[in-house]
Amino acid sequence: MSGGAGARRASERRRASIAPAMGIALERRDVRGGALGAVRRAVASDLGARIASYLLLLLLWQLVALYEDRFPDPAEVFGFLWIEVSAGSHGGVVRGQFLEHFAATLPRFGLGIAISMALGIATGVVIGASRMAEALFKDTLLVLLALPAIIWAFLTQMWLGLGDDAVVITTFLSAFPFAAVNVVQGVQAIPRDLRRMSTAYGVSAYRRFRHLQLPAVTGYMFAGLRFAVIIGWNAVLLGEWFSASEGVGWRSRYWYDANRYKGFVGWVVIFILFIVLLDRLVLVRLQRRAFRWRDAQLSEVEREAEEVDLGVTGA
Amino acid sequence: MAAGDGSVRGAGSTIVGHGPRGTAHLSLAARRRVRGLVGFVLGVGGFLLVWTLLTELVVGEFLLPPPLEIGGEMWAVVRTGEFFRQFVPTIERLAYGFGLALLIGFPVGYLTGTSRYWRAFFHDMVMVAGSIPGITYAVMALVVLGISELGPVLSVGLVSMPYVAINVAEGLDSVDRRLVQMSDAFGRSRSAVVRHVLVPSVAPFAFAGVRLSFALAWKVEQLTEVFGSSKGVGFQIRKEFEDFSIPGMLAWVLLFIVFMILLERFVLVRLERYLFRWRLEEQG
């Protein structure tokens, strides 16, 4: 979108730091030698900052637990998690179950995402390529994007009763519009000038597909996949909360209904960890790789802002 | 994307319009209005078409009532005034939640944008917040706070805060250094630089953060109201679900979506354009 001149101007602007003029002290590297200096450097390093942030989070958690008796503190929750994951005994006849519930959830989740990606890509290509289809169906897509997953969880339960179907369809219906909208953006982002030039120079259909259409759409497709997965994970949990008798969402509800909040919070830790690791270790990397032709000149801050924002931009 | 299309079209029509000045202007405005109207009719028509086809061919009238029936239900909800009674608390909570998000997001974004240490400190929290499932906020609010006013407000605040923070950081990153250096060279005070350079550069970004997180925030708010609230649109949706009333549930959620889309289009987008107007001038 931005031409070479714009990018040059932006980099020129950024070259100088705003810090000195603003009177913000530049970060001082501690140059003192010895053990004390080493400790200070470690505390001030990026890793030190990250560790400090996790410690602060644990502290906040502990404070909330002190303020509200019902809410378990970190030690209780991690104790619970150990028993649950290692299939130990929770006391009485209830045993820890971890793999069983993931084994029930993952096929539902995978199937829902697969259907939403297949239909999302097909719909996205049609809407992106035809102005008539865009005029007719873009608003429908907008309404679908706006529907909260809870509506689908309720509707599928009323339509299909309890069971796998309701969960899979909740996942599919919630994730589908996010996949479709991103593919629409990708198809529409194919640069018009390049399209015209390929026509003028008689570039073959294969080369056009390989070097123009495919690279333009791939990045958006991975972005679509990423948000379909994030939205779909919430949907599968909600679907299981209301319509299943096993699975990650059901198990967290099981502990919630039993008034064993440490169990509930423990499962929240598990399902957050699952999606965060999947996103940061797999999906973000795929998306970055597919977009690298486009985002090479962006600064790190801009790139991260883009990654965070992209999910909610919708149309 | 839409703005780009508009400017291309606008440029084309000024070249074409070489009749008498008045009529050219009139026809341009009229043409745009007609185009908007046709787009609206096609969009609504397409939506009703998809819906009717689903009702008739796939799901059946009992499970997905046809548009006319839901329309009647929606009208009943609006006519009795019930909609606005429930809509007002929901919007209030949303507003407080965004206030909270700005209150926390601004300092976090400022620190992230200016200091390497704080950037590393907040990095993980800001980057993962967007992928935390909404059900977490909803049920956690219920466990910690019980059924309360504060639950939905906190959910909205926590969901939107990272978007505000990361956009404020991006805004600081985009500040024109040459302006800051020039202010420095001409001996402007620090507060003047903040007031006339930093705030105007960063405010639109912060607002963009709010607008971007809008759709996500009200979804999570609905969910929180479904789980732990005694009034509001989300609570009504839950009530209709418990009554096994598909038309009632669809009527509430569609009314809410229509109002939210209108609010976004006519209030938030205009406000954002207003805040961004100096940038558009710079580009033009």
pLDDT tens for chain B, 284 residues long, are 333 333 333 333 333 444 444 455 567 778 888 888 888 888 889 899 988 888 888 878 888 888 888 899 899 888 998 888 888 888 899 999 999 998 998 899 988 888 888 888 988 888 888 788 888 888 888 888 888 888 889 989 988 888 888 888 888 888 888 888 888 888 888 888 888 888 888 888 888 888 778 878 888 888 888 888 888 888 889 988 888 888 889 999 999 888 888 888 788 878 877 877 766 555 43
CB contact under 8 A, A21 and B183: yes
**A43 and B CB contact within 8 Å:** no
CB contact under 8 A, A158 and B244: yes
Nearest residue of B to residue A148 by CA position?
A: B219
| All residues at 6 or more sequence positions from A105 whose CB lies less than 8 Å from its CB, including other chains | A236, A240, A247, A248, A249
Distance CA B79, CA A34 (A): 77
* Chain A closest-CA separation from residue B21 CA (Å): 31
- pLDDT at site A235: 92
- pLDDT at site A315: 29
3-state secondary structure of A29: coil
**In chain A, domain spans:** 30-67, 99-313
CB contact under 8 A, B1 and A27: no
The DSSP code sequence of A176-202 is HHHHHHHHHHHHHTS-HHHHHHHHHTT
Residue window 22-51, chain B: list those with CB within 8 Å of chain A: 38-39, 42-47, 49-50
Distance CA A155, CA A139 (A): 21
User: For the structural domain made of B67-283, what CATH number should be given?
Assistant: 1.10.3720.10
Cβ pair B217, B94 in contact under 8 A:
yes
User: For the structural domain made of A99-313, what CATH number should be given?
Assistant: 1.10.3720.10
| Per-residue tokens: A64 | 């909330």
CB contact under 8 A, B46 and A50: no
* Chain A closest-CA separation from residue B20 CA (Å): 32
- Express each pLDDT in A210-252 by its tens digit: 888 888 888 888 888 988 998 999 999 999 999 888 889 899 9
pLDDT surpasses 50 at A162? yes
| All residues at 6 or more sequence positions from B121 whose CB lies less than 8 Å from its CB, including other chains | A49, A50, A52, A53, B111
* Chain B closest-CA separation from residue A284 CA (Å): 11
* A247: Cα separation from own chain's centroid: 21
pTM given for the model: 0.82
Distance CA A284, CA A306 (A): 11
Residue window 226-245, chain B: list those with CB within 8 Å of chain A: 226, 237, 241, 244
Cβ pair A190, B1 in contact under 8 A:
no
Cα torsion B108, B112, B116, B118 to 10°: value is: 20
Element (H, E) at A44: helix A34-44
**B169 and A CB contact within 8 Å:** yes
3-state secondary structure of A89: strand
Residues of chain B with C-beta less than 8 angstroms from the C-beta of A147: 253, 257
Residues of chain B with C-beta less than 8 angstroms from the C-beta of A313: 212
* Chain B closest-CA separation from residue A310 CA (Å): 9
pLDDT surpasses 50 at A16? no
CB contact under 8 A, A21 and B181: yes
Choose between A177 and B218: higher pLDDT: A177
In a 10 Å sphere around its CB, with 0-12 CB exposed, 13-18 middle and 19+ buried, how is residue B4 labelled?
exposed
- Express each pLDDT in A80-98 by its tens digit: 888 888 877 777 777 778 8
Nearest residue of A to residue B246 by CA position?
A: A155
CB pairs under 8 A between A and B: 205
Cβ pair A121, A221 in contact under 8 A:
yes
Residues of chain B with C-beta less than 8 angstroms from the C-beta of A69: none
Q: Which residue has the tokens 């990397």?
A: A285
- Average the pLDDT over each of A21-25, A72-76, B156-160 and give the range with the smallest value: A21-25
Residue B189 sits at φ, ψ, to 5 deg, of -75, 165
CB contact under 8 A, A135 and B39: yes
- pLDDT at site A117: 94
Which of B135, B140, B158 to substitute to test the interface with A, most A CBs within 10 Å?
B135
* Chain B closest-CA separation from residue A163 CA (Å): 17
| All residues at 6 or more sequence positions from A114 whose CB lies less than 8 Å from its CB, including other chains | none
CB contact under 8 A, B226 and A150: yes
pLDDT surpasses 60 at A34? yes
- Express each pLDDT in B51-66 by its tens digit: 888 888 887 888 888 8
Q: Within a 10 A sphere around the Cβ of A140, how many other Cβ atoms?
A: 20
* Chain B closest-CA separation from residue A68 CA (Å): 6
- pLDDT at site A309: 62
pLDDT band, very low/low/confident/very high, at A180 (cuts 50, 70, 90): very high
Residues of chain B with C-beta less than 8 angstroms from the C-beta of A279: 128, 131
* DSSP summary character for residue A73: P
* DSSP summary character for residue A95: B
- pLDDT at site A173: 93
pLDDT surpasses 70 at A18? no
| All residues at 6 or more sequence positions from A188 whose CB lies less than 8 Å from its CB, including other chains | A128, B1
Distance CA B276, CA B284 (A): 13
**A52 and B CB contact within 8 Å:** yes
CB contact under 8 A, A50 and B167: no
Which stretches within B54-149 are classed as H helix?
67-79, 82-114, 116-129, 134-145
- pLDDT at site A121: 92
Which stretches within B186-245 are classed as H helix?
190-193, 199-228, 233-242
